Structure 1
Amino acid sequence: MGRTTRRAGGALAVGAAVAGLGAGASWLWRHQADIAFSRPVNEWAFTHMSTVLPTEPVSRAATPRLLPSEPGLRDFTYEHAGERRTLADLHIRTHTTGFAVLHRGVLVREEYPGRFASRAARFQLFSLTKSVTSMLIGIALEEGALGSTADKVVSYVPGLAGSAYDGVTVEDLLHMSSGVEFVEDYADPESSFARFERAVSGGGSLLDVVRSLPRTAEPGGTFNYSTVDSQVLGWVLEGATGLPLSRYAHSRLWSHIGAERDAYYFLTRGRPRTALGGGSFNASVRDMARVGLLMARGGELDGQRIVPPSWVERSRGVDAPHLAVGALGTDFPGHYGYANQWWTLAGERRAFTGIGIHGQYLWVDPDADLVVVKTSAWNTAEDEDRDAETVAALSALVRHVEARG
């Protein structure tokens, strides 16, 4: 999420989307990310990943969990930049494609302003995938497939022995504190991020890219936002459970939250094909609202414990100065901290949010029993102004809902 990804960056998510269209292949290949990630094409790309890359399904629940609906929030407004604005203003200004609000388990708002968006659409969630991966890690720990967050990465991913990840723990990965250098700068075609993307979309070896990264800090003490840390975390999960991410996500999460739609991970083009634990999950807005409800309810739904309550609690923030709100460095907005593959928020409420580039949010406020899902199609991977307006609007929405009781 760092500001270094300000270009159309994040090509790892739709690396070969336009290349699959055929005509003018050479020019399209050189400019595929710019095209696929720019408006209005990105609205199509972000809802059609399954048509352009290999995928693995995460099958829906046998019996979907009903979401009761009581439409509301018609009188809601928020203030930003000295102006009073409505949700319609927010959607226009921040290119919302899908939007849902759950309060006390009731769907009080649902709309799909995007051209290709609908209740049935599966949205590319980018780095919201990281938060889902974290939930799966918590489940694996509780059931004993994963021993401890203190376990060394190479215990589960022996192919990383001798690399900069040798000596890094699962805990380090969860907090983006591996000490391994990875710069998410797509503007530089020689950056580690660009090499990672080329391996995803062009058939190269992700393992080779990861093994080539140097260590720049001791593990555990320095925050560096890194999709590779999350990728390794996904490999740890697969190594610990013996299952691909898609099957584990179905059996331990998707089937238990009552998901109404199949989700999916897109896969690398090269074999062995692999899902991206840091950025290839696609799901419907309603099902992501169910994920948020699970986290808002302390890891339980309908009396069933799915994610350990302690895991939810640590996702709201941990006692580590380098992860505190405002302490992540100048590349990140001051209203965020980080913990457990989630972004933490200022204030005593300890709300938290998953975030994906181009404006994807899963906002969770357990104290208010409120969840907001917002998918978007920003023209750039990062946008300080649109992020600030979104945070202002969703913070005001929590206050509004609580005031109404």
Structure 2
Amino acid sequence: MAGDRKWATGAGVVAAVGAAAAGARWVWRHQDELVMRPPLSEWTFTHMSLLLPTETVPRAGRPSVLPRAPRPLEFTYEWDGAARTLSDLHTRTRTTGFAVVHRGRLVHEAYPGRFAGPDRRFQLFSLTKSVTSVLVGIALEEGAIGSTDDKAVTYCPELAGSAFDGPTVEDLLHMSSGAGGEEDYEDPDAPVNRLMRAVAGQGGTVLEAVRSVRPHSTPGTRFNYSTLDTQVLGWVLEAATGRTLAQYAAERLWGPIGAESDAYYALSRGVPRTAVGGGSFNATVRDMARFGLLMARGGRWGGEQVVPQRWVERSCGAGLPHLEVGALGERYPAHYGYANQWWTLGGAGRAFTGLGIYGQFLRVDPEADVVVVKTSAWPVADDPALDGETATALAALVTHLSADA
């Protein structure tokens, strides 16, 4: 009997260990789903440095002053048959951080998120693409990149024979490489998810994920939003400058605008470590407001032309029919066009915005002299209703501020 009890106890321990191991394997396989959805996502989006390797973008030696002139923002916007307030926007669209700059002054700042605050670095997802674009513009002005007509493979010979052996820097900037499939975050086999699994160390290298996609159209003829396009663009930048994205961003952007906090890029777990040029930049709301103000002021900061003015103008609109507002295709909201790794808004003011999944926004309106930063923790990566409501609210906010003589 004693032997039976020992056997039963031992079997129970083995079963428990086996169950724990199986549970651990399940958590490992599904880690992306767990950390990107409520209730964990709000913590994840402010603590990415605890989940992946990182490379720091140091704050400026002399942070710039971002003048403050706080004021209430008493405006409403119409959505779903009712007049909504800014407080409604935050609640309904799960805002975590929010800042508004008007005429060069920080007029409003709020952090509704449970883990948010002025010093917290937020995972900006595809807002990273707009940062990459600006760095490419600077590298072109300096001559490190010869021309937007240069083929990507000229700088990245490891892509020879792949779908990216042919597209130019220009094609990549406009998401018109002709390579890869839909950016479908719910499809496990979508190129973006293969890329993210590689970054997380769950299968293959980042280079293998990029090389795995097939061509679907002639480069330069069709818009197809793809994080892989920006990944290649980031590699072009690194190869041309001899700097990592973090190093180049520190030298040419974060330092010149006087960023008050360190930012960082999340890196792949596997070696060689690589930053995701289309989705791994983490920064404070205030410093992203500085970045937006740089773009609103034509690329100038403190009397210095940090970003070429012509590069800023490119980001307002490409002048290409397949990239115009409403022409991107049925998979994309009709209120957006695209240019230079930014989403364009059209109209006389030619406002433009950086976007990131789960509700990250950087709206730049040079005509109205308004910049809005919004970080969020949506329950899903892409939600047309939440995007539409946010876009409507931010447009109403700009109108409200513009009415202030």
Moved more, 372-381 or 65-74: 65-74
Q: Distance in 2 between matches of 1:77 and 1:69?
A: 23
- Contact 1:267/1:280 (8 A) holds in 2: yes
Q: Please name the residue that 1:11 is paired with.
A: none
Q: Distance in 1 between matches of 2:386 and 2:29?
A: 28
Query: Which string of whole-angstrom CA distances, capped at 9 and with x for unpartnered residues, describes residues 162-188 of structure 1?
Result: 111111100000000001123222333
- Contact 1:128/1:361 (8 A) holds in 2: yes
Q: 1:306 to 1:48 in 2, by over 3 A?
A: same
TM-score (norm 2): 0.93
Q: RMSD over aligned Cα, in angstroms?
A: 1.3
Q: Distance in 2 between matches of 1:221 and 1:130?
A: 20
State whether structure 2 residue 75 is matched by structure 1 residue 43: no
Determine helix, strand or coil for the equivalent of 1:404: coil
- Relative contact order (C-alpha < 8 Å, sep 6+): which is higher? 1
Q: Which has the larger radius of gyration?
A: 2
Percent identity between the two aligned chains: 64
State whether structure 2 residue 206 is matched by structure 1 residue 206: yes
- Contact 1:182/1:228 (8 A) holds in 2: no
Q: Please name the residue that 2:165 is paired with.
A: 166
| Amino acid in structure 1 at the alignment position of 2:379 | N
Following superposition of structure 1 onto structure 2, how do residues 231-270 of structure 1 map, counting pairs within 5 Å? 231-270=231-270
Following superposition of structure 1 onto structure 2, how do residues 356-367 of structure 1 map, counting pairs within 5 Å? 356-367=356-367
Q: Distance in 2 between matches of 1:366 and 1:279?
A: 25
**Post-superposition offset of 1:381:** 0.5
State whether structure 2 residue 188 is matched by structure 1 residue 189: yes
Q: Please name the residue that 2:79 is paired with.
A: 80
Query: Which string of whole-angstrom CA distances, capped at 9 and with x for unpartnered residues, describes residues 8-29 of structure 1?
Result: xxxxxxxxxxxxxx99421212
**Post-superposition offset of 1:305:** 0.5
Moved more, 127-136 or 343-352: 343-352
| Amino acid in structure 1 at the alignment position of 2:402 | E
| Amino acid in structure 2 at the alignment position of 1:146 | I
Moved more, 326-335 or 189-198: 189-198
List runs of 5+ in structure 1 lacking aligned partners. 1-21
Q: Distance in 2 between matches of 1:202 and 1:396?
A: 43
| Amino acid in structure 1 at the alignment position of 2:300 | E
TM-score (norm 1): 0.93
Query: Which string of whole-angstrom CA distances, capped at 9 and with x for unpartnered residues, describes residues 350-404 of structure 1?
Result: 1000000000000000001110000000000011111111111110111110101
Q: 1:215 to 1:290 in 2, by over 3 A?
A: same
Query: Which string of whole-angstrom CA distances, capped at 9 and with x for unpartnered residues, describes residues 5-51 of structure 1?
Result: xxxxxxxxxxxxxxxxx994212123222221112211000000001
Determine helix, strand or coil for the equivalent of 1:202: coil
Determine helix, strand or coil for the equivalent of 1:352: strand
Q: Distance in 2 between matches of 1:48 and 1:321?
A: 40
Aligned length, in residue pairs? 384
| Amino acid in structure 1 at the alignment position of 2:162 | S
Q: Please name the residue that 1:277 is paired with.
A: 277
**Post-superposition offset of 1:83:** 1.3
- Contact 2:99/2:106 (8 A) holds in 1: yes
- Contact 2:129/2:230 (8 A) holds in 1: yes
Q: Distance in 1 between matches of 2:100 and 2:199?
A: 34
Q: Please name the residue that 1:8 is paired with.
A: none
| Amino acid in structure 2 at the alignment position of 1:28 | V
Following superposition of structure 1 onto structure 2, how do residues 114-125 of structure 1 map, counting pairs within 5 Å? 114-125=113-124
Q: Distance in 2 between matches of 1:30 and 1:161?
A: 32
Q: Distance in 2 between matches of 1:50 and 1:29?
A: 18
- Contact 2:181/2:216 (8 A) holds in 1: no
Q: Distance in 1 between matches of 2:47 and 2:24?
A: 20
Determine helix, strand or coil for the equivalent of 1:362: strand
State whether structure 2 residue 372 is matched by structure 1 residue 372: yes
Q: Distance in 2 between matches of 1:24 and 1:210?
A: 31
Determine helix, strand or coil for the equivalent of 1:277: coil
Q: Please name the residue that 1:27 is paired with.
A: 26
Q: Distance in 2 between matches of 1:253 and 1:298?
A: 14
| Amino acid in structure 1 at the alignment position of 2:302 | D
Q: Please name the residue that 1:14 is paired with.
A: none
